[in-house]
Structure 1
Amino acid sequence: MRERLGVLLAAGVMATAGSVVPAAAAGASSSGVSGGGAAALSSLTITKSGSSWSGLPARQVTLQCEPTGGTHPTAADACAQLLAVGGQFDKLQPVGSAACPPVWMPTTVTVTGTWRLQPVYWTKTYGSDCDAGFRSGYVFRF
């Protein structure tokens, strides 16, 4: 029953998106519009703040999915990772068996924007910048 309700809700959102997204794309600027002029179904701003070996206290990228775009250095891979977990950042899985130095240099990641036209606000503090990148399947490696 729950699964069926989810399918019905998704169909309703997509039907609504069909009438809203083209209008938004016609007047949108760089936020939400990717290369070919099509509005991105998901448009996120990812910010990292805190300590790092590089000395950069804060960094920010944009990530657009469906279609892929933004300033994220590996946008296609990041979108693939997020699509695999349905946009649920807490479910991102580490990639491989990388080892991060065992030091405490807290890095806070904050994600805002929309995922499949739904509002997103997510934040988490990791032990280090390396830890944030590794534990997110490299979505937060930038």
Structure 2
Amino acid sequence: MRKRLGVVLVAGLAATVVSVLPATAAPAPLANLTFAKVGTSPAGPVDKQVTLQCAPIGGTHPTAEAACTALIAVGGQFSLLPRAEGYGCGADYWPTTVTVTGTWRNKPVYFTKTYSNDCEASVGSNFVFHF
């Protein structure tokens, strides 16, 4: 009887300890970003916005997984995104500005760059800015 009482007491104590310990929060995503694109095009004004979350992948970016892969390859440094190979854009000047805000590895991100046109924004960022 004594042995059984000891087991019950230990089990009860363990349940109490677990119930008072704080729940651990889920880790923050690798990236939580908002992209904005404004400018002009032959079809009229450009004004778009999407979100991107990496690890886990999510948001409204149309190619979130590919965008996260490209960003991870450059350590989240937008200025290091390579130009996509094998693609060309016309020389038409329809300036498009892309702005990125949010966090990368829990650190604030702010990036802005003006491209000569929307195609250049896409190709010049390895399609991260293709939205």
Partner of 1:75: 64
- Alignment equivalent of 2:73, drawn from 66, 84, 90: 84
- What are structure 2's unaligned runs of at least 5 residues? 1-23
Using CA pairs under 8 Å that are at least 6 residues apart, name the structure with larger relative contact order, 1 or 2.
2
Query: Cα gap change, 1:54/1:76 in structure 2, threshold over 3 Å: closer, same or farther?
Result: farther
**What displacement does 1:41 show?**
2.5
**What displacement does 1:94 show?**
1.2
Q: TM-score, normalised by structure 1?
A: 0.72
Aligned length: 109
Deviations 1:37-67 (A, max 9, x none): x742210000000012343421000000011
Partner of 2:42: 53
Q: TM-score, normalised by structure 2?
A: 0.77
Partner of 1:65: 54
User: Residue 122 of structure 1: SS of its match in structure 2?
Assistant: strand
- What are structure 1's unaligned runs of at least 5 residues? 1-20, 26-37
Which is worse superposed, 53-62 or 118-127? 53-62
Partner of 2:129: 140
CA RMSD of aligned residues (A): 1.8
Q: Give the number of the structure whose residues are more often strand, by fraction.
A: 2
Query: Cα gap change, 1:100/1:71 in structure 2, threshold over 3 Å: closer, same or farther?
Result: same
Of structures 1 and 2, the larger Rg is shown by: 2
Distance (Å, rounded) in 2 between the aligned partners of 1:94 and 1:111: 18
* Over 6 Å off, 4+ runs: none
